[in-house]
A and B are shown apart, each in its own frame.
Chain A
Amino acid sequence: MDKRKEHIFNRNKDGESTDQDKKILPFSEGPEEVFAHKTDNEIWRSFQSGHEGAFEWMYNHYFDKLYAYGTQLTQNEHAEDIIQDFFIDLRLKRGKGLGDVANIKAYLFKSFRRRVFRSLKNNKFLHQEISPEVLNFYVTFSHETQLVNSQLKEEQKQAIEKAINNLTTRQKEVIYHYFFEDMDYKSIADVMGLSSAKTARDLMYKSLSVLRSDRDNFQV
């Protein structure tokens, strides 16, 4: 449907326009309701076939998550520009040979991650060259989490936080996806381009072994 043509119809003040293609979008049938019980694959196919609501649904569900992730990766405010370009391209690419997607979240994280790295590499938003290895995930280990019967002493918590922040960026990213996004190892491997779920799991164990070396942290 040519948008400009519609405008001209309207400019003629032709209130009786018989063009039946235009859609009425009452709020009562927002994307939330429409896609509540659909699988990722079904939502993805709707998106591919040009369903505007499917795009909106993805935006509503993943914008905050991708933005939070983007600010971790870039450590600067240009995450906003990158995420905007990312969604524009995503919408432009629909129906143009994007394959089937069974896990929308992993797909979005994976392609968003690629986009962030490309932006950083192209120096578009930064004044200096930056490599993924120096990117920083800053992990805090909450001292506020008060469980009824706390098993961990304050010093133990501090030791864990210190240990986590001494991990490599790759390990921290695994931790981020695993804890903050509650992803499974297969998704993490997918997003980070690791060879298998086992690689992601191994990275997690390596991280935990750093903690384990300080046995006290885990001894009850």
Chain B
Amino acid sequence: MKEDYTTYRPDDFVADHSFKSWVLNPNPEKDYYWRTWLTNHPEQSESVAVAREIILSVNFTTKRIPTAKKDALYADIINRSKTKEESLKLTKGHRSSYQWLKVAASVSLLLIAISVGILKFVQKDTFIAETSTEYIERETRRGEKLTLTLPDGTIVKMNALSKIKFPTVFGKSRDVELTGEAYFDVERNIHKPFLVRTGEITTRVLGTSFNVNYSSDQSVQVAVTSGKVAVHQNESKESYNLLPTELLTYESNGFTKGYFDEEKLLGWKDWVLVFEDADIHEIAEKVSVWFDVDISIEGQQEVKRRFSGKFKNPSLKQVLEGISYTSKFDYTINQKKITIHLK
């Protein structure tokens, strides 16, 4: 709709969507139209100037969420809607018999998995309980991940090659010892602080979720996804408070604070394998721990190729296929031994 702009006053221009849109979000098309029009109607140039200024001066005081937090929210939205979707699927009464079969099959698979888990748990725990009466120790091997519930209801997701130790009954505080990496979703209890001990560092919370990674080189990383977390060095009284999206790293030279990319750092707990600008050695290291395989690298190692990508709950083959395509290598799988031939 082309208006007769020759009689427009400044406020008419302000109220005209086409004009306002040109001022706010110009593009070549709008520019062409309005510049041509102005050249042909110099008598309106002052009204246009006033209208432009009014439009550009209207502001609203709005708020923004930092990008890291926005990404964390996105992961949370996906997780929560998936969980809801699952429970809706399972409670829905009307569905075809075929779908019922599928659900029944997956439920029974789940039950088997749970009972196997319980069996393993019971066997291992009674064994430990006999030798040391107070503590439970769980350990994950390469290629393994484990989710467990602590006596207080806290849920712990353990990454591969990690070890956790906790008492069968918590005392005044909820003390947990960790080596390796685990994600904690702590049951809230303001009367009993939850403490994760990792070498020289202790992480203290009341009820929140966070990730702790205590590597073999003695460094500790604490990443918070919800609530508030305090971290301190055991001899020192000074503690560092961490909020969601924040990451604290402890190394021999002290603490450093920053932000983290939730998917990259915590993807593992949702079975997402993430590579960001990773070279072949980093890829080999991650893949061997994730799938419990040995990887040897052959061929042209001088050429540095970097790979970024994410795999949702992948099979070994999918990962190797995906990376080999972009990173230009061939591979052979011989049971648990993989050889990568760089081209």
What residues make up the interface of A, taking CB atoms closer than 8 Å to B? 2-11, 13-19, 22-28, 56, 59, 63-64, 67-69, 71-72, 79-80, 83-84, 87-89, 91-92, 137-142, 145, 147, 149-152, 157, 160, 164, 175-176, 178-180, 182, 184-185, 201, 204-205, 208-209, 211-212, 218, 220
Contact = CB atoms under 8 A, between A and B. Distances in A.
A142 B309 contact: no
Contacts of A68: 60, 62-64
A138 B61 contact: yes
Contacts, number: 194
Interface in B21-40: 21, 24-25
Contacts of B252: none
B78 to A, nearest CB: 7
Contact of B109 (A8, A137, A150, A178): A8
A22 B313 CA distance: 7
Contacts of B326: 26, 28
Given A5-B109, A15-B291, A26-B309, A147 B52 contact: yes
Contacts of A17: 315-317
Contacts of A5: 106, 109-110
B77 A84 contact: yes
Q: Which 9 A-B pairs have the closest CB atoms?
A: A15-B316, A68-B62, A17-B315, A26-B309, A91-B81, A2-B106, A71-B63, A208-B11, A179-B58
Which of B46, B47, B62, B73 has the most CB atoms of chain A within a 10 A radius of its CB?
A: B62
Contacts of A64: 64-65, 70
Nearest to A148: B49
A8 B322 CA distance: 22
Given A160-B54, A218-B10, A218-B50, A59 B60 contact: no
B113 interface: yes
A32 B271 CA distance: 24
B17 A16 contact: no
Given A4-B106, A24-B309, A208 B15 contact: yes
Contact of A80 (B65, B81, B292, B310): B65
A139 B84 contact: no
Contacts of A157: 57
19 contacts: A5-B110, A17-B315, A19-B315, A22-B315, A63-B70, A84-B76, A88-B80, A138-B60, A138-B61, A139-B58, A140-B60, A142-B57, A142-B58, A180-B60, A211-B11, A218-B11, A218-B50, A220-B46, A220-B50
Given A80-B65, A91-B81, A185-B17, A141 B58 contact: yes
Given A88-B80, A91-B77, A182-B21, 4 more contacts: A6-B271, A15-B291, A145-B57, A179-B20
Contacts of A141: 57-59
